[in-house]
Structures are given as structure tokens and as C-alpha cells.
């Protein structure tokens, strides 16, 4: 999974233009993603990329697009 792959999934799930989904974007403040959209996003990432959900330890792991990407790609 690349950062661009994740950005595309986020854009699709949230109906936000891809150009607005940046590595530093906050899901809540910048993108306006609510809790239901976040659940859908996490499930889509799990399904599409086979990422284990047990990697998520706190809300900080999912604060920004970049923090989510780092969490999902670390070994």
C-alpha cells in the first residue's frame, strides 16, 4: 500500500476531492470525517489491503492521513 493508494480510498469513502486529502490532513478538522465514515474507512482499508485492525492502539494513530499510513505500513 502506498500513501497515494490510501488517499484514493479516503477520497472515495468521504467524497472529498483527492487533491484535498494530503498527508498532513486531519481526518476530523481538515476533512470533516465523522466517526461512521472513519469506521467505514478502516473497514475498507482492512478489506482492500489486508491490514490487521489490531494495529490501532489509540485515536492518535488515526489523527491524520499520515499517521494512519505510518500505522498501517509499519511492520
Asked whether 73 and 46 are in contact (CB, 8 A), the reply is: no
CA–CA gap between residue 11 and residue 66 (Å, rounded) = 14
Q: What is the pLDDT along the chain (75 residues), one digit of tens a residue?
A: 899 999 999 999 899 999 999 999 999 999 999 999 999 999 998 899 888 888 888 888 899 999 999 988 886
- Predicted TM-score (pTM) of this structure: 0.89
C-beta atoms surrounding 64 within 10 Å = 20
Domains of the chain plus CATH, in order, are 3-73 (1.10.1200.10)
CA–CA gap between residue 52 and residue 19 (Å, rounded) = 27
Report CA dihedral (4, 31, 20, 39) to the nearest 10 degrees.
30
Amino acid at each position: 500500500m502506498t500513501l497515494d493508494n490510501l488517499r484514493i480510498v479516503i477520497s472515495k469513502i468521504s467524497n472529498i476531492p483527492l487533491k484535498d486529502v494530503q498527508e498532513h490532513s486531519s481526518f476530523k478538522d481538515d476533512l470533516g470525517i465523522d466517526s461512521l465514515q472513519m469506521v467505514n474507512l478502516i473497514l475498507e482499508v482492512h478489506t482492500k489491503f489486508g491490514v490487521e485492525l489490531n494495529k490501532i492502539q489509540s485515536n492518535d494513530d488515526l489523527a491524520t492521513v499520515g499517521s494512519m499510513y505510518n500505522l498501517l505500513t509499519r511492520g
